[in-house]
Amino acid sequence: MKMNLHFWSVTLILVMLPAAVLAAPTEPPVNDPSITPKAPTLPLATDGTALLESFGGREGLVRIMDDVMVRWLANPKTRPFFEGADQASIKKHLVEQFCVVMNGPCTYTGRTMAESHKGMAVSEGAFYALVEELQISLNKAKVPFFAQNRLIAALAPMHRDIIDK
Ligand code: HEM
């Protein structure tokens, strides 16, 4: 009887395992290896919209992006990237992206981080300068420190798709 039970559990595992592997969802194929994502563009948050409220909701994010874009245009490390770009569109997509990252009632309509930063030669220095200016704007908007950390932690893995080594 003991042997029989063992036999059936082993058989069940052998039958179910390949079925589970075959049923696993597969990523859509990407033909261009230079835009294959290495990190999710929209990581998932799990605690309702409390985090978004710490940023003043969607309107708060709009004010923060208006403020930070002025800083990115003033900072010599980030200015070259943004001065010729469609700043209104970037701000709109950043609001959507941050809102979705924080579980807000928004839809991200922009491209992936790999696609939108491809060929831009963003350096590590430019990346940190951008994040520092963002932190200044977040402090000015009185976003609590814990909430800032949660956002930065969600954005940090994206550097793999943004910085050109
Ligand atoms: C965690 C850091 C970053 C995030 C979350 C981020 C996010 C975004 C988003 C959402 C867009 C809009 C994509 C679209 O319109 O389809 C964008 C575009 C852009 N980003 Fe970033 N970005 C980051 C870092 C950087 C850095 C470090 C630079 C340069 C210093 C940069 C320069 C740009 C530029 C110039 C565009 C416009 C590209 C175009 O219009 O083709 N970004 N970024």
> Could you tell me the distance, in angstroms and rounded to a whole number, from the CA of residue 54 to the centre of ligand 1?
23
> Are 114 and 36 within 8 A, CB to CB?
yes
pLDDT band at 160 (very low <50, low <70, confident <90, very high): very high
CATH class of the domain whose range is 40-162: mainly alpha
Task: Supply the pLDDT for residue 9.
Answer: 57
Task: State whether the beta carbon of 86 lies less than 6 angstroms from ligand 1.
Answer: yes
> Does the reported pTM lie above 0.75?
yes
Q: Would you say residue 31 has pLDDT above 80? A: no
Q: What is the pLDDT of residue 29?
A: 56
Q: Is 10 exposed, middle or buried (0-12, 13-18, 19+ CB in 10 A)?
A: exposed
CA distance 35 to 37: 6
- Cβ–ligand 1 distance for 158 under 6 Å, the answer yes
Q: Is residue 30 scored above 50 in pLDDT? A: yes
When pLDDT is averaged across residues 14-41 and rounded to a whole number, the result is 61
The pLDDT assigned to 39 comes to: 79
Distances (CA, A) of 8 to 5, 19, 20, 90: 5, 17, 18, 57
Does ligand 1 lie within 6 Å of residue 130's CB atom?
Answer: yes
- Grade residue 24 by pLDDT with cuts at 50, 70 and 90: very low
- CA 78 to chain CA centroid, Å, is 19
Summarize the confidence of residues 84-93 as an average pLDDT: 98
Q: For atom 23 of ligand 1, which residue has the closest CA? A: 162
pLDDT at 19 > cutoff 80? no
Distance in angstroms (rounded) separating the CA atoms of residues 21 and 147: 38
Question: Could you tell me the residue ranges of all domains in the chain?
Answer: 40-162
> What mean pLDDT, rounded, does the chain reach?
85
> 110-142, pLDDT tens digit by residue?
999 999 999 999 999 999 999 999 999 999 999
Residue 158 is classified by DSSP as G
